[in-house]
Amino acid sequence: MKIKKVNLALGLVASVALAMPMVALAAADQEAAMKDPNNWAHPRGQHDNQGYSKLAQINKANVKNLKAAWTFSTGVNRGHEGSPVVIGNMLYVHTAFPNNVYALDLNDNQKIVWSYFPKQDPSVQAIMCCDVVNRGLGYGDGKIFLQQADGTLVALNAKSGEKVWDVKVLDPKIGASNTNAPHIVKDKVLTGCSGAEFGVRCYFSAYNIKDGSLAWRAYHTGPDSDILLGADFNKENPAYSALSVYQDVNGGNKIGGSFKAIPADQLKVGEKELGVRTWLKPQAVKDGWQHGGASIWGWWPYDAKTNLIYYGTANPSVWNPDVRPGDNKWSMTIFARDLDTGMARWGYQMTPHDEWDYDGINEVILFDKGGKTYAWHHDRNGFAYTFVAGTGTLVAAEKVHPFVNWATHVDLKTGIPHKDAKYSTHQDYNAKGICPAALGTKDQQPAAYSPKTGLMYSPLNHVCMTYEPVESKYVAGQPWVGATLTMFAGPDGVMGGFAAYDPMTNKKVWYNKEKFSAWGGALTTASNLVFYGTLDRWFKAVDAQSGKELWKFQVGSGVIGNAFTYGNKGKQYVGVLSGIGGWAGVAMNLGLTNDTDALGAAGGYKELTQHNAAPGAGNLNVFSL
């Protein structure tokens, strides 16, 4: 009887979709579901990636009355990132490895309607860089989509949980894995690639939603034809396609050397084949770009007006910058690609010749202002960027906090960050006092936007580091990092915070300090509330306009999941996954104690053991009035 009820709920969503003008789209049911604010049908709520809900029953006056409504133990330990998806009366939730999936009936006391237990080789856990996390599920075309750690993309029948199709996206034998939530747009399923710490040459893939056949694949290093760069790529901003943006100072890639920005009138712009030509000799392996890294695992927005999908690429391999002279394009890059063809419309490299593992992988958020659509990105390098979404023209680039010191500023005309020579890194030299640390001023935890206030709300890491590149030989399937680092609290004396920014200037509006990094993704609501979680187990609600803390609840394990909300039977619920892990918590989960373990996280976050049991236990926590 309960199954019939579930079928009816999903059938109603489908029937609404069939009445829509988007009937030609395979994922029309997802589009219909996203129009109802009672659902949470996308990993970040909507295609714009804002993490915003129109629900307002929970407001500033009554949020103090929030109580635990129900909980669900995932039965899995370690880091739990992302959030469930909610369609009608069904909630679908995922776990860390082995990536189990549960379908819960919200109309029947969260009864498990179906479950899916992947059969994965446990050895894949050893190649997952920063904990065995998974960032969530996708929904569309009557299917739930799971990207398994072992590179298998799976489509499950949303009603029954039966497998419809699966496809192998990558090969774990070379060190490649997956952690991203599949994103469903129109008739495509989008998925990425992790493995920059293993020398994997990563790519972005689009599969046809009906049968799992490959629609297109775009690499991030190598020839233009592999990266899918067309004739109009960066046509409005040819400086983004400069052959080199720096001139060497005191030898460049050697101890005592650094890099000075080339003046705009001297840049060699509009160049081709930069994914090959900017990986210069000497290289630790081949020509560098063949094992160039540039992973992708974040949350990706889509703009139907331009048909563009936006995302960031990660660090170049290897972390030792001296063995890969050049800008190392197109790692550390924000791309805008045509959804149907994969062709890149524009690409902007935020940290050319990355010396600190400042992945450019954090999410892009789309918002409208004055009749224009803008793209906002809080990068791990400590700068927040605002672009004209359709062209990539840079509008604002500012430090999210004054402690960021590796660069003095970003030139808005060229987009070039001006590096501070004191913080360059070189093989066998221990560079000290670099801010931020490699995990950035924000890592995987997505920011949120409120169209009510016009502000961005971003979790923060306030962490600095010492960084020593070392020699490292490439071996397929083995770690290839080439650096040793330690981490410590930044000059504010804390390791985290939460802040609001004006995205047109990227100036800070308010800032709350946190003892540890705020590693949970943010949620904004129409009642001017912002929700987020912390590593010391707090789930909080603050005033979107002032930052004043209005409510908090301490859950069982540190929060690295994303806050979400949904409505059921006239009541609003807000929830979050708990289960500490990710880069900040992986050392604690594994019992690592040397300061340099877990790429510096063991030393930097050693106090987490005073607030969390290890390993962290996965739990879904849901609250209501």
pLDDT the model gives residue 435? 98
Assess whether the previous peptide bond of 519 is cis (omega < 30° from 0). no
The type of residue at 542 is V
CA-based nearest residue to 603, from 464, 449, 453: 464
Structural domain containing residue 143: 2-624
Distance, CA of 236 to CA of 345 (rounded, Å): 10
**pLDDT value of residue 4:** 34
Q: What gap in Å lies between CA 364 and CA 375, rounded to an integer?
A: 6
How many other CB atoms sit within 10 Å of the CB of residue 158? 28
Q: Who contacts 374 (Cβ-Cβ below 8 Å, separation ≥6)?
A: 366, 367, 368, 386, 387, 388, 389, 395, 503, 504
Gap between the Cα atoms of 421 and 257, Å rounded: 8
Q: What is the mean pLDDT of each run of 10 residues along the chain (625 residues)?
A: 36 38 71 98 98 98 98 98 98 98 98 97 93 97 98 98 98 96 98 96 98 98 97 97 96 94 97 97 89 96 98 97 97 98 98 97 97 98 98 98 98 97 96 97 97 98 97 93 96 97 98 97 98 98 98 98 98 98 93 92 94 96 98
* CATH code for position 193: 2.140.10.10
Measured CA distances, 464 to 292, 418, 434, 583 (Å): 25, 19, 6, 15
Give me 246's structure tokens: 């720096």
Catalytic residue among 105, 357, 359, 379: 357
Structure tokens at 152: 């298998």
Please give the pLDDT value at position 140: 98
Q: How far apart, in whole angstroms, are the C-alpha atoms of residue 573 and residue 553?
A: 14
pLDDT at 27: 93
* Straight-line distance from the first to the last Cα atom of the chain, in angstroms, rounded to the nearest whole number: 30
* Beta-carbon count within 10 A of 340 CB: 14
Which pLDDT does position 511 carry in this prediction? 98
With tokens 């059938």, the residue in question is: 11
Q: Rounded to an integer, what distance in angstroms lies between the CA atom of residue 450 and that of residue 509?
A: 14
- For 476, the token pair is 């397929």
Compute the CA torsion angle 128, 217, 44, 369 (nearest 10 deg): 130
Retrieve residue 227's tokens: 């990266």
User: Is residue 357 annotated as part of the catalytic site, yes or no?
Assistant: yes
Q: What would you report as the CA-atom Rg of the chain, rounded to the nearest whole angstrom? A: 22
Q: How far is CA 164 from the centre of its chain?
A: 27
* pLDDT at 24 (0 to 100): 54
Residues 6+ apart with CB under 8 A from 119: none
DSSP state at residue 76: E
Burial level of 231, CB count in 10 A (0-12/13-18/19+)? exposed
Our CA dihedral for 219, 223, 227, 229, rounded to 10 degrees, sits at 180
pLDDT at res. 443? 95
Write phi, then psi, for 236 (nearest 5 degrees): -80, -20
What is the model's pLDDT at position 285? 84
Number of domains the chain contains:
1
For 116-161, the pLDDT digits (tens) are: 999 999 999 999 988 999 999 999 999 999 999 999 999 999 999 9
Q: Measured between alpha carbons, how far is 590 from 604 in angstroms, rounded to an integer?
A: 15
Residue 175: what residue type? G
- Determine the Cα–Cα distance for residues 452 and 448; give it in Å rounded to an integer: 12
* Residue at token pair 């020398």: 199
CA of 345: how far to CAs of 25, 228, 231, 451, in Å? 23, 9, 9, 26
- CA dist 147 and 97 (Å) reads 11
- Which among 209, 163, 157 has a CA at the least distance from the CA of 185? 209
How many whole angstroms separate alpha carbon 163 and alpha carbon 166? 8
Bridge partners (DSSP) of residue 459 are 498
Dmax (CA) of the chain: 75
The kind and range of the H/E element at 479 are none
Catalogue the E-assigned strands of 137-286: 137-140, 143-147, 152-157, 163-168, 183-185, 188-191, 203-208, 214-219, 246-249, 258-261
Closest CA to 539 of 565, 513, 512, 563: 563
